[in-house]
Amino acid sequence: ETKPVSVSNATLPKDIDVALIMQMSIGTFSSQYINGVTEQVESFGGNVKVYNADNDLSKMASYVDTATTQGVDVILIDHGRADALKEPVQRALDKGIKVVAFDNDLTNEGVTVIDQDDYSLAWRSLKALAEDLDGEGNIVTIWVGGFTPMERRHTIYDAFLKRYPGITEVAKFGSATNNTALDTQSQMEAILKKYPEGEIDAVFAMWDEFAKGASRAIKQAGRDEIAVYGIDLSDEDLQLMQEDGSPWKVTAATDPAEIGRIQVRYAYQKLAGEETPSIHSVDPYLVDRDVLPDEKVTMDDLGQYVPNWGASDAAWSDWMKGTD
Ligand code: SR1
């Protein structure tokens, strides 16, 4: 049994245990997101245990039950789908555990679900692509189904193809594997052989692991007529975008570490008995390589070049800032 402890005017359980249950942990988005979660929990006091379900939804569901049986205070869920998770999540809620989810379609009452406004993410990147092509050209699209954010991005992609009838999809592929970037690179190499110079104008990559693989294949093949329009951003992605002759021109993104921090803040607001919303969409920004300086930048410096980029003021309570 944990005893309550006062943090300024907020009363929280003592020794807060947080279970972060992830559908998968692939690539730099996931690692920066985990850093954000860990850093925010540690700053408030608490311990995080990370469970990686290796893309197995039934394993993910049983991790939720394991955390519930262990009596953690908070369960944070990353990806996953309601069809697999709604029942174990309800068991956690019934036991009084606070649940905050990211990137899924859970609707259990009491759960806050945050996302990156995937419609907006996809539209911003696609609109830049359409304008750069002046509404006409051939594109390759890299996407994988079955993930809530990907399905939402695809809804906008369908609308985009209707809105810009002069833009034609010549190829589409993608899969989430343990080596997504590398596997994408090999598949993109095959596509480049199939469609010689002049037959592809741009690539729309709906995940940074896809954008990395496509960019490396295009650069190695010397196909500098092809530009990549992506989604997501990490320190590694920024380096790639800033390389000389990088095909990766534009990306639409939020800061994955900040997503993790917001998710934790909502959980701690719940622990403190505060009101929290059912949904929260974090606003994404468009990052064009042209706004970046010659010297290397990191995610922490990006606010100097992308207006409004940086720490969000979402889900902050006065007690968290020590101002109540
Ligand atoms: C397979 S889903 C990958 C996406 O999850 C997060 O929403 C990131 O934005 C990434 O693109």
Residue range 206-223, pLDDT digits in tens: 999 999 999 999 999 999
Predicted pLDDT of residue 62: 98
Q: What is the reported pLDDT for 1?
A: 39
Q: Is 103 in the pocket of ligand 1 (CB under 6 A)?
A: yes
Question: 158 CA to middle of ligand 1, Å?
Answer: 18
- 311 pLDDT tier (thresholds 50, 70, 90): confident
Confidence (pLDDT) at 4: 56
Average the pLDDT over 89-105 and give the result: 98
Write out pLDDT tens, residues 225-278: 999 999 999 999 999 999 999 999 999 999 999 999 999 999 999 999 999 999
Would the pTM of this model clear 0.90, i.e. be above it?
A: yes
**Can you tell me which atom of ligand 1 is nearest the CA of 24?**
1
Work out the average pLDDT over 303-308.
Answer: 93
Q: Which residue is closest in CA terms to ligand 1's atom 4?
A: 207
Kindly report the number of other CB atoms within 10 A of residue 74's CB atom.
26
DSSP letter string, 92-149? HHHTT-EEEEESS----TT-EEEE--HHHHHHHHHHHHHHHTTT-EEEEEE--SSSHH
Tell which one of 103, 114, 254, 281 to mutate to probe ligand 1, the residue whose CB is within 8 A of the most ligand atoms: 103
Q: Can you give the length of the chain in residues? A: 324
pLDDT for 2: 42
Are the C-beta atoms of 211 and 238 separated by less than 8 Å? no
Q: What percent of the chain has pLDDT over 90?
A: 91
Whether residue 143 has its Cβ less than 6 Å from ligand 1: no
pLDDT of 127 higher than 90: yes
* Rounded-to-integer distance, Cα 202 and Cα 62, Å: 42
Nearest-CA residue for atom 3 of ligand 1: 207
What percentage of the chain reaches a pLDDT higher than 70? 96
Average pLDDT over residues 137-160: 98
pLDDT at 117: 98
How crowded is the C-beta side of 9, counted as CA atoms within 13 Å? Answer: 8
149 Cα nearest atom in ligand 1: 7
Ligand 1 probe mutation, 24, 29, 33, most atoms within 8 A of CB: 29
Q: Tell me the best of 183, 204, 208, 232 to mutate to test the pocket of ligand 1, counting ligand atoms within 8 Å of each CB and taking the most.
A: 232
Ligand 1 centroid vs 252 CA: distance in angstroms? 12
Query: What ipTM was assigned to the predicted interfaces of this complex?
Result: 0.99
How far, in Å, from the CA of 113 to the mean position of ligand 1?
Answer: 15
Q: Is 204 in the pocket of ligand 1 (CB under 6 A)?
A: no
Look at residue 16 and give its three-state secondary structure: coil
Q: How far is the CA of 162 from the centre of ligand 1 (A)?
A: 24
Of 271, 227, 238, 28, the closest CA to residue 128 belongs to: 227
* pLDDT at residue 151, as a whole number: 98
Give me the pLDDT at residue 20, please. 98
Give distance in angstroms: CA of 163 to centre of ligand 1: 24
Ligand 1 pocket test: which of 79, 114, 116 has the largest number of ligand atoms within 8 Å of its C-beta?
A: 79
User: Sorting pLDDT into bands at 50, 70 and 90, what band is 312?
Assistant: confident
d(CA 256, ligand 1 centre) in Å? 10
pLDDT digits (tens, 9 = 90+) for 34-58: 999 999 999 998 999 999 999 999 9
Check: CB of residue 213 under 8 Å from CB of residue 183: yes
